[in-house]
Structures are given as C-alpha cells and as structure tokens.
Amino acid sequence: MRKDSKARKEKSKILNFIPTGEYYFNKGIKAYHRRDLPLSKKYLLRAVQLEPQEPMILCQLAMVCTEIGEYQESNELLHKIIDELDPDMTECHYFLANNYAHIGFFKEAYKHASIYIEDDIDGEFMEDAEDLIELISLDAEEVIDSLSEQDELILKQEEARDLLEKGNFQKAVELLQDIVKNYPEFWSAYNNLALAYFYLGEMEKTADVLEEVLEKSPGNLHALCNLAVFLFYQKRKRDLENILDGLFKVKPMLQEHQYKLGATFALIGKYEESYYWLKKLQKIGFDGDPGFYYWLSQSAYQMGHMKTAKQAWEVVLEFNPEKEGLEPWNEDRQDEVGYENHLSSLLKKLGSKYPEERWFGLFLLSVSEKKAAILSHEDFPSLDKFSEAEQQYASAIMASEKNNQPIRIPDRISAGHETAMVLFQRYQPIGPVESGLFLMWFSVVQAMLEKDAFAPNVNAFAAGIEYLWYKLRHEKKSQKELAEMNCISISTLRKYVKMLEDFLR
C-alpha cells in the first residue's frame, strides 16, 4: 500500500451538505435578479420552510408575489411580518400600500403609506410613499368613491358569510356573483361562491368556479382544499388522490392556511395529517374558533390522543353547550344533528332580516327537541320583531309547548306548515343541503301570504317544490316518480309546479 493512501482517503471523505434557509434565500435572490420569478418563488418558499421566523425571507417572497400579481398572498406575508415577527420592519407598510393601491383599495393604501412616512422619516421609499399619497389624493371624488366601494365590499363580504352560515345559499350566490364581478381578484369570494354552489348541488358550477380560481391563482390553498372536499363528497377517488398528493406536500406558513389544511384533512378522514397541523397550531398558542377545537378533538380521538381530544371538546362545549353528548368517543351519539336541534343556528334564523329564514326558523322550532331551551333563551326575538303571520305561528308553537299539546296552526298558515312537515318526513335531519329545499318552500310561503293565494293540497305543494329543487340541483327526478310518491296525479303536479314557478319569480 502506498504511503499517502491514508491521507488520500481522508481527503476524499464525502462531506454531507445540508442546505439552510440562507442557502435557498440566496438562490431565490439570484433567480429574482435574473427575472426568473417562478424559480425565485420556489427557492424562497423552501427558505421559508427552513426558517419560518426570518422576516427578511418572507419580505423577499412577498415582493416576488407582488411582481407575479399575487397581491393577496403578498399582503398576507407582509401582515405576518409586521403583526407577528418584526413590527419595526417599516418598509413592509410601503409594500402593503403599493399592493393595495394596485388592486384599488385606496383607503388601505393611504393608511399604510402614511404609517411608513410617519415611522421611517429617512426611509428608502420615502419619496415613493409621498408620491403615492399625492397620486391617491389627486382626484378626491374618485378616491371617495373607491373608499365607499371598499366599505360596501366589506359589508357584502360579511353579509355573504352570514348567508352561508344560515344556509341561505341562493341569496349568497347572488351576492357573491356580484362581488367577483366587481372584484375579479378577490379570491375568497370565489371560494365562498364555490361553497354556496356546492351546497345547492350545482356541481358543475362548483367545479367551474374552483377551476377559474386555480387557473388565475395557481396554488390557491383555499381553492385546493375546497376542491378536495368537493371531490370527496362526489366520491371521485382518483381525482381526490391527485389533489391530496399535492396537499400532503404543502407546508403553509400562515396559521390561517395551516388551520384550513388541518380542517380539510379531518373532514375527509385523513386524521393523521389533520392532527399534525391542528396540534401544531395548538402548541404555538393558536386561538381558534369553535370549529378549530371541534376538528382537533375529532382528529385527536381518531389518533388515540384522548387527553387532547377531551380538552379540545371542553372548549367546544363552552361555545356550543348543545353538543353535549355528541363527543367523538360517544358511540351512542347521532351521526348527524340537524339545524332543528342546533340552538345557535336556529336562533340566528329566527333573528334574520329575511322573512323566508324566519319562517324556516319557526318551522325548525316547531319540530325541535329543544323548544323549551330555545323559547327561554335570551336571544329569542321578541314577538314584535315578527310579522303578523309569523307572530301567529310563533304563538301557536309557544302554546303547544306550554300546554304539552299538538301544535294548532291558524288556517291562514297551516298549508305552509303542513307542507314543510311532509318534506321533513323525507329530509331529516335538516343539514346545509336540505335547508335549501326548505328555504325555497318558505320563499313561496311568504309570496303566497302577500297575495293571500294558498291552495289546500299540501302533497301537491310538497311534490312541486321537490321537483323544482331537484331541477335546480341538476338531479334527475321524474314527475311521475314524485307524483306517485305524494299520491297525486301528474297533471296535478304540473299544475302546482307552474303555480310555484310563478311565485318564485
């Protein structure tokens, strides 16, 4: 053996190279300077995964997102920096101002530009920020109009969310269609629109909206998660597996995205992945809504972590005491509890500004197992908040509960109640999808009351509204089948369908 063989061997020893966040950050910067923005984003995302608390990396990623038109994602990153990581990184306010101005949110643009000028007197972008404020102020009338539009957008957003929560999907669709028409890059509105279509059974429209989002905003996590849920309920296993292959690899930085991912995995039965993300959020002190603790409890139970499951369920009960007895580990619990026994959902409907929702709420109350708790609840509306006919309905329900007698509905509204009862026999418990049928019916009830035009054949009404509901959902249900199911003739069904269509116009 040669004398220097040992030295050669030591010199040729292979050293492990473990890339760091800084390594990928530098590669991302080089790609950025070459204007290869997709590659730059790829490297920077990897850098963030390795060093998620480094604000400089997040800021550079936000700048790349801005340049490729992903303003909402850029803003989320910038807000994360100034809200959580480094409030003194004042240049983020200028970048936010620039983003908001680009998408027409001049109120937010003005606010962040002003913060930047005030907090960073010698800042690198001082002149640009002053020019931006001057540009915004050039046409005061236009700016005022823009600010009004923003306020209107916020109100519409909240109203759309409220309608979705209450199950009034048709009205939510109309409102969200208006939002996406006027704000074509407002992706959350698209995702909510897809959700509304899904609950209405408009599967083609659901798919179209999600495809549009993913085409215009590739990698939109909310759209991908919604698509996974859509495919799961459609039982399209192969397509779902393709989406999940991508979602399993996603490592989101924002807590909102981590929550969305964890909840989605739980909903489609991927409890190991769900528990990973939701438990991770809990460990860093994430203060979620009741849904967060619900899904954490579900996934923890499925993975055998009973202590976490029970602790999370205690929080669920603080928000929703009516879920007592519905613990994931309670084998005797109902598989599904409908709106008729969801105290908070029912109270929201009773307090709605829409008459069809109040009618629906009153009907739910009439069949609820929790009448006493609802009628005695501090949020139960006073009778003067109802119309005269609604007061008659509510009073009949109250009298029934007080006297422990069957409900005696006044003649004027009996057909509305009795038709809903026929539907309830076939569609219970009433969940988000079924609520669309009842809301459609109570829209007719309201219209008929206004014209005093009720007819007595409740079976024909039930068959007619079912036919129109299935038609709206693009589901095949023949008139012959519905007529036989409701013991009426096809000619009678056609007559009532025509009548109902007139009242729904």
Query: With 70 as the cut, is the pLDDT of residue 177 above it?
Result: yes
Amino acid at 387: S
Instruction: Tell me the mean pLDDT in the region 483-496.
Output: 90
Q: Which of 161-175, 304-318, 339-353, 464-478 has the lowest mean pLDDT?
A: 161-175
Q: What is the 3-state secondary structure (H, E, C) of 185-198?
A: CCHHHHHHHHHHHH
What is the rounded CA–CA span in Å between residue 130 and residue 140?
16
Write out 141-170 in H/E/C secondary structure.
HHHHHHHHHHHHHHHHHHHHHHHHHHCCHH
pLDDT computed for residue 8 by the predictor: 44
pLDDT at 116 over 80: yes
What percent of the chain has a predicted confidence (pLDDT) above 90?
A: 25
- Supply the pLDDT for residue 141: 45
pLDDT at residue 289 is higher than 70: yes
Taking the C-alpha atoms of residue 76 and residue 119, their distance in angstroms, rounded to an integer, is 21
User: Does the pLDDT of residue 336 top 80, yes or no?
Assistant: no
Residue from 339, 349, 427 nearest 394 by CA: 349
* Residues 263 and 292: beta-carbon distance below 8 Å: yes
* Cα Rg of the chain (Å, integer): 28
Give the residue among 43, 96, 54, 97 at the shortest CA–CA distance from 73.
96
**pLDDT averaged over the chain?**
82
Element containing residue 59 per DSSP (H, E)? helix 55-67
Residue of 261, 207, 248 whose CA lies nearest to 231: 207
Tokens of 366: 């009439």
End-to-end CA distance of the chain: 97
* Whether the predicted pLDDT of 10 surpasses 50: no
Inform me whether the pLDDT recorded for 284 exceeds 70: yes
Mean pLDDT of 68-89: 88
- pLDDT over 70 (residue 268): yes
CATH class of 21-143: mainly alpha
Q: Domain-by-domain residue ranges, the chain?
A: 21-143, 340-504
The residue that leads in pLDDT, 475 or 425, is 425
pLDDT at 236 over 90: no
**371 compared with 19, residue with greater pLDDT:** 371
CA–CA distances in Å: residue 242 to residues 224, 238, 265:
11, 7, 14
pLDDT band, very low/low/confident/very high, at 167 (cuts 50, 70, 90): low
Place of tokens 């823009």: 146
Q: What is the 3-state secondary structure (H, E, C) of 315-349?
A: HHHHHCHHHCCCCCCCCCCCCCCCHHHCHHHHHHH
In the chain, pLDDT over 70 holds for what percent of residues? Answer: 88
Distance CA 231, CA 475 (A): 17
Average pLDDT over residues 253-281: 88
Instruction: With H, G, I as helix, E, B as strand and everything else as coil, classify residue 443.
Output: helix
Q: Is 436:173 a contact under the CB 8 Å cutoff? A: no
Q: Which range among 167-176, 409-418, 435-444, 479-488 shows the weakest confidence by mean pLDDT?
A: 167-176
Structure tokens at 166: 């209450």
pLDDT of residue 417: 93
**What pLDDT is stored for residue 19 in this prediction?**
72
Tell me what the mean pLDDT of segment 261-279 comes to: 90
Lowest mean pLDDT among 11-15, 26-30, 237-241, 293-297: 11-15
- Residue keyed to tokens 């959700």: 195
- CB-based contacts of 488, cutoff 8 Å, min separation 6: 457, 459, 460, 463
The whole model's pTM is what? 0.54
Q: Is the pLDDT of residue 332 over 60?
A: no
Residue 293 predicted with pLDDT over 80: yes
Q: What is the DSSP letter of 384?
A: G
Confidence of residue 360 (pLDDT cuts 50, 70, 90): very high
Asked if the model's pLDDT at residue 179 lies above 80, the reply is yes
**Mean of pLDDT values over 243-254:** 85
Which range, 141-150, 223-232, 434-443, is most confident? 434-443
Q: How far apart are CA 161 and CA 92, in angstroms?
A: 30
